[in-house]
Amino acid sequence: MAAAPSSLGEHFREELTCSICLELFTRPKVLRCGHTFCLSPCLENLVGRGGALKCPIGRQQVRLPPQGVAGLPDSHIIANMCERLRQQTSLSGETREQPQSVNRCSFHPSEVLKVYCKQCQIPVCEQCLEEAHDDHRITTIKKAAQERGSTIQALINEGKNIMESYLSFLRILREEEKTLNEQKQQTDNSIIQAYNQMVLKLTERKDHLLSESQQSHSDNIEIIQTERNRVLAYLNELFAACDRAEQELQQGWVEFLSQHTTLTGVVGRYRGKAAPTPVQTQPAVFQPTDTPVPVLGHVTVQSLPSAPNLAVPVSRNGAAGGRGHHHGNQRPQPQKVTFGGSGTEQLKFPCGISVSDEDGTLVRTVGQQQGMMHPWYITVDGEGNILVSDQNNHCVYVYNTGGRFLFQFGGHGSGEGQLKRPQGICTDRAGNIIVADSGNSRVEMFDKTGQFLKHIATDMKKPQAVAIATQGQLVVSDSGEHRVSIFQNVLI
């Protein structure tokens, strides 16, 4: 193939250049993240102590095979293309430096190619013409080149146009990768910033609590010190009076008599005083807040551009974004109404149930007082009571329309009335409560007060969602068996 135009050659070289040494790849090796680099010296110089290697582009840690970087897979396609590009560059230089040689026959090297065989579509020498092409139609090489040159050139141009489209696509991929790397870095920076802010707030809260503890301690110590100083003053006065009288008593009766009145007054003052009582202090005690582990946030994957979704209005029978209504459970659909987020009057990693009015304003939150851990499905019965299944607590919570806690039923176990990782819930026309007891591979029925009634099904693998159809049939989805079952006559 003739040398590619400079633009194509430059694009080829750009795609086949190692981002470390900025030269054509030499024995290219592919990392697990998909990026390619030269084995030596590029990757060999990047390997740190203990064989650690981090991709220079994606910054991902790469686990090396036992052979080290030499054991990484080779990219034979890139290696072949680099070698072809090197040869092309070398041949192009030789063509410019050397005069054009005479075309010799490959079968008869001493003979010059003089004619073109139209039947075999190859140039031949006079000896070939006599031996194998004597009765074939021939023409001169110059005329054949003129006749076929335009066709060959058209194919070359078409091939180069196709290559250009592929190279353009590769450039798009490269730009997309660059954008992804930048977005990844921005996401990581946001996570780190959120973490630092949370640490700062925790540090400020810690300092505040320590300051309160220190102030309480200082107040108590001040009380003790005040009492200590008061008692020491009493001791000092008594000790001085007694010591002076004792010394004069030892020296003679005249001096002793002079201290009698003073000592009588001092001792008399303290004789009527009540004995010191223990001081009342109030030491500070730390009571940690029983809250879930703080959540920095969530990493979400943006969906591909698509036609705009129509919003689904909130109905009176169900809550948008919930997992069911009084006829049964429905998993969230792509078209939905959402509200909340992180902040005041909004939602953040909820471990309870938040009740909002029709415009999405937070009204109240329930469940935290009862220790709700992992609410999974929610339904509303015919009387407006709210029922919530909790996977981690293995029970169902029941609240009235205003959000006041009524009762809970279930509890971890496999006996009658017990549940294990309950999921879907619904109520029938009589108000009975039907629960997909997923962990026990069964479907249970309770009355409206939470009393066990019966096992509806015990031969399921992982019942997940339940619903009552318009004709009273019970519909159960089994995620373990990948099927849906319909039960007739489930009422008591």
Q: Are 472 and 479 in contact (CB under 8 A)?
A: no
Q: How many residues comprise the chain?
A: 492
Lowest mean pLDDT among 127-131, 437-441, 474-478: 127-131
- Asked if residues 342 and 318 have their Cβ atoms less than 8 Å apart, the reply is no
Share of the chain above pLDDT 90, in %: 16
DSSP 419-438: BSS---EEE-TT--EEEEEG
| Cα–Cα dist 432/208, whole Å | 52
Tokens of 397: 């919570």
Adjacent-strand bridge partners of 354: 365
pLDDT digits (tens, 9 = 90+) for 201-247: 889 988 999 998 899 898 888 888 988 888 888 888 888 888 887 87
**Which residues pair with residue 36 across a beta bridge?**
30
Tokens matching residue 140 = 């001169």
User: Would you give the DSSP letter of residue 74?
Assistant: B
User: In sequence order, what E strands does 284-404 have?
Assistant: 353-356, 362-366, 375-380, 386-390, 395-399
Q: Where are the alpha helices (DSSP H) in 49-121?
A: 76-97
Selection from 156-170, 313-327, 361-375 with the highest mean pLDDT: 156-170
Tens digits of per-residue pLDDT, 10-41?
767 777 888 888 888 888 888 877 788 888 88
Q: Which tens digit of pLDDT belongs to each residue from 419-431? A: 999 999 999 988 9
Q: How confident is the model at residue 403 (pLDDT cuts 50, 70, 90)?
A: confident
Task: Give the largest Cα separation in the chain, rounded.
Answer: 169
Token digits of residue 309: 């979704």
pLDDT tops 60 at residue 346: no
Q: Which of 159-163, 167-171, 336-340, 385-389 has the highest mean pLDDT?
A: 385-389
Distance between CA atoms of 348 and 342, rounded to whole angstroms?
A: 5
**Residue 482 pLDDT exceeds 90:** no
pLDDT reading at 300 higher than 90: no
Share of the chain above pLDDT 70, in %: 77
Residue labelled with tokens 């989805």: 477
Average pLDDT over residues 40-59: 77
At residue 348, does pLDDT exceed 50?
no
For the record, the structure tokens of 177 come out as 């990768």
What does DSSP assign to residue 40? I
Using CB atoms within 10 A of its CB, is residue 363 exposed (0-12), middle (13-18) or buried (19+)? Answer: exposed
User: Token pair of 227, please?
Assistant: 């009492």
Confidence of residue 50 (pLDDT cuts 50, 70, 90): low
